[in-house]
Structure 1
Amino acid sequence: MLANLEGSGIEPEFFFTEADDRLHPVEHPAADWTETMWWSFIVPERSMCGWLYTQLRPNLGTQAGGAFVYDNTGRTSWELPYFGYQHHQPLPTLLDLRDVTFRTGVSTKMVEPGMVYELGYQFRDQTDFLASLSFCGLTPPVPHAQGAPPFTRSNHFDQHGLITGTIQLRGEEIEVDSVSVRDRSWGRRPEILGRTRRRLSYTFGHTDADELFLAFCIPDEPLADIETLASGYLVRDGLIRRLTSGIRRTVRDPDTGAVRELHLECTDSDQRHLSANGLARSCFFMNNVGVTVNSVVEWTTVDGSGFGEDQDVWTTAYMNDYLRQSGAISSPARGSR
């Protein structure tokens, strides 16, 4: 482990505990009470990233999730090397998240609470994508700043880790050995359409100098390419500190809205400065309630270089507005009378 939470200024009452590896008590009767587990891996030399994702909705008795792998060969789900995602599977009556195989094909096993996990994927007897991976935390799970958007009504933790093992992708075995991130959340997560939900971005990375960073940012205006920090953290010289201020600047492809370049300027609670420049090496437009543009990013700082992922989260309405504003798509033709 590179760092722990001692001296971070994060109150111990918000630390991740052994109980948080289990399913949490439902604290609200709303249908949108949600519990999630997300794991990512990166194969830098192939501009490749993959997700193993699980979303549970106990009040509805359903689970959703699965796996996907994207690289620079395609941008939509039907072009990816693999995409396998389901939305309405029944939730098992007895469910122990410390050792579970979901109907979606995702499996997780806790080896050391909050730190070490075995991960797998196989959907039924299909072999287009198989995964056998291990996650070892480089930090403890770091809690999202209390009350900060977008998780104002839920608990959320992020954690950098070393993820190793192999995947089999369309018959090819590929070694995985990279720094990536997992997250864990529980609480209300409403599905909102239109323009009432704010845009946000979630980006993480690392450098060769064992520097880790993660930032949530939100634009002041819906279509703006300059965003302000909402929450995040920096790991440097063995110390985890919350990011307290920051600006994200994004350069986009005007034809698609995809991220081309990222520029982060942030300061943490010890007044340490982070200046990171990112180049998108591949991307995937994930369409669900909204549109999330996932990108493998190559990061450069004064201390070195490394990789990470960016998640650029839009409502469908705002993405449509952006593409019309950029001229990528035209406004609907007005009928004549």
Structure 2
Amino acid sequence: MDELPQADRFGATQDDSPYWNESVWFSLSIPEQRLHGFIQYYFRPNMNLLNGGPALWDPTGTQVWNCLYYNWSHLQAIPPGAEKFNMTANNSLSVQVIEPLTRYAIQYDNDDLKMDLQWCAIAPMHPLRSKDPGQRSTQTFHMEQAGKMTGTIVLDGKHFDIDCHSMRDTSYGPRVYSASSTGGYFWGIAEDSAFHAIAKGETSQQNVIGGFLWQEGKLASLVSGQRKVEQYGKYGPKRVLLEAEDALGRTIRTTGALEDGLIFTGYTDRTVVWSLTRWDWDGTTLWGDNQEFCSSLRFRRIARGNLKLGD
């Protein structure tokens, strides 16, 4: 295979910062079973560190210790010769490019979980170009892309067929959070349409700082918008409303109904409530998720009842 495009390789501008980060994420779900999950990993090449792995959950368990599966391995050395999308980690996670920017093979076989999956794009990638200073400081390059995930997983001897819409992202650059922000990273995909957005703010109404709309074969960046949390659950939103406009003048008004999400503590200074989400966009159902993020200190105060959600 000829040299891969930049989004499928380690960043060409890598410096010697110990916090230089190369991240990869794919989603997967079985919405009718309320099952959701991810394959996520990142390299810290100047630390010779590879973090990550798969996680699966449903409403029966939303902690890392009681969910369906969790092996987001923290302490792995980068395998010799590993590339961003051509590697096998110590925990058995294997990812390979089949067709640049279009198809990827994902395999895993460890601790009673086997995965044999393939991700295929249904839309072009969208480079995130946010004007938000905090977002810009956390990576040099960041993109999302809508696709489909197909294949099989076997968990504790039980077979699951996977055939779902799936978002992926990848990024590179120094990732240092000088101040941990609060907000949501969320998206939805249907057969012919998709959206992605990031909103930031501590109250129930937050400004959109980036994202995209893909509709009728056209992809464009969001230029304005707001997300309103209409109902809160115990640890995060249960119902949200997104209203936004893209660079082509198209608008979106969609409501999201969130499942109880995995309380993800992979980044020890940040906590994410990661929820399977059903979106209604002009009568079309889109499945996706909502990743509600804040500092671990803020989340601890919420969990202990010392801080009310939306304050």
Using structure 2 for the length normalisation, give the TM-score. 0.91
* More contact order relative to length (CA 8 Å, sep ≥ 6): 1
Instruction: Give the AA of the match of 1:240.
Output: L
Instruction: Give the AA of the match of 2:291.
Output: Q
Contact between 1:251 and 1:262, CA under 8 Å: does it hold in 2? yes
Change (3 A) 1:252 1:217: same
Q: SS of the counterpart of 1:74?
A: coil
Give, in whole Å, the separation in 2 of the partners of 1:93 and 1:129: 25
Counterpart in 2 of 1:141? 125
Change (3 A) 1:206 1:19: closer
Give, in whole Å, the separation in 1 of the partners of 2:160 and 2:219: 32
Counterpart in 2 of 1:150? 135
Query: What is the CA-CA distance between 1:41 and the residue it aligns to?
Result: 0.6
Tell which deviates more after alignment, 140-149 or 230-239: 140-149
The correspondence of residues 7-46 of structure 1 with structure 2, limited to 5 A, is 18-25=5-12, 27-46=14-33
Instruction: Give the AA of the match of 2:135.
Output: P
Counterpart in 1 of 2:219? 240
Counterpart in 1 of 2:250? 272
* Equivalent residue for 1:305, pick from 276, 285, 289: 285
Instruction: Give the AA of the match of 1:241.
Output: A
Residue 206 in structure 1 maps to residue 189 in structure 2 = yes
* Equivalent residue for 1:164, pick from 136, 150, 156: 150
Query: What is the CA-CA distance between 1:252 and the residue it aligns to?
Result: 4.7
Query: What is the CA-CA distance between 1:280 and the residue it aligns to?
Result: 1.0
Counterpart in 1 of 2:90? 103
Query: What is the CA-CA distance between 1:311 and the residue it aligns to?
Result: 0.4
Counterpart in 2 of 1:94? 81
The correspondence of residues 326-337 of structure 1 with structure 2, limited to 5 A, is 326=308
Give, in whole Å, the separation in 2 of the partners of 1:150 and 1:166: 35
Deviations 1:165-206 (A, max 9, x none): 1111111111111111011111011255xxx32213110002
Give runs of ≥4 in structure 1 deviating > 3 Å: 146-149, 251-254, 320-323
Give, in whole Å, the separation in 2 of the partners of 1:151 and 1:171: 44
Residue 186 in structure 1 maps to residue 172 in structure 2 = yes
Specify every segment of 5 or more residues in structure 2 that has no aligned partner in the other structure, as ranges: none
Corresponding pairs, count? 300
Change (3 A) 1:263 1:113: same
Tell which deviates more after alignment, 139-148 or 300-309: 139-148
Give, in whole Å, the separation in 1 of the partners of 2:136 and 2:46: 19
Give, in whole Å, the separation in 1 of the partners of 2:67 and 2:58: 7
Give, in whole Å, the separation in 2 of the partners of 1:161 and 1:274: 20
Counterpart in 1 of 2:203? 224
Query: What is the CA-CA distance between 1:281 and the residue it aligns to?
Result: 2.4
Give, in whole Å, the separation in 2 of the partners of 1:270 and 1:247: 17
Change (3 A) 1:146 1:215: closer
Using structure 1 for the length normalisation, give the TM-score. 0.84
Q: SS of the counterpart of 1:20?
A: helix
Change (3 A) 1:325 1:98: closer
Structure with bigger gyration radius: 1
Specify every segment of 5 or more residues in structure 1 that has no aligned partner in the other structure, as ranges: 1-16, 328-337
Query: What is the CA-CA distance between 1:25 and the residue it aligns to?
Result: 4.0
Change (3 A) 1:170 1:66: same
Contact between 1:282 and 1:295, CA under 8 Å: does it hold in 2? yes
Query: What is the CA-CA distance between 1:26 and the residue it aligns to?
Result: 5.7
Q: SS of the counterpart of 2:91?
A: coil
Deviations 1:295-319 (A, max 9, x none): 0001112141121011001101222
Give, in whole Å, the separation in 2 of the partners of 1:98 and 1:316: 30
Contact between 1:191 and 1:289, CA under 8 Å: does it hold in 2? no
Contact between 2:153 and 2:159, CA under 8 Å: does it hold in 1? yes
Q: SS of the counterpart of 2:32?
A: helix
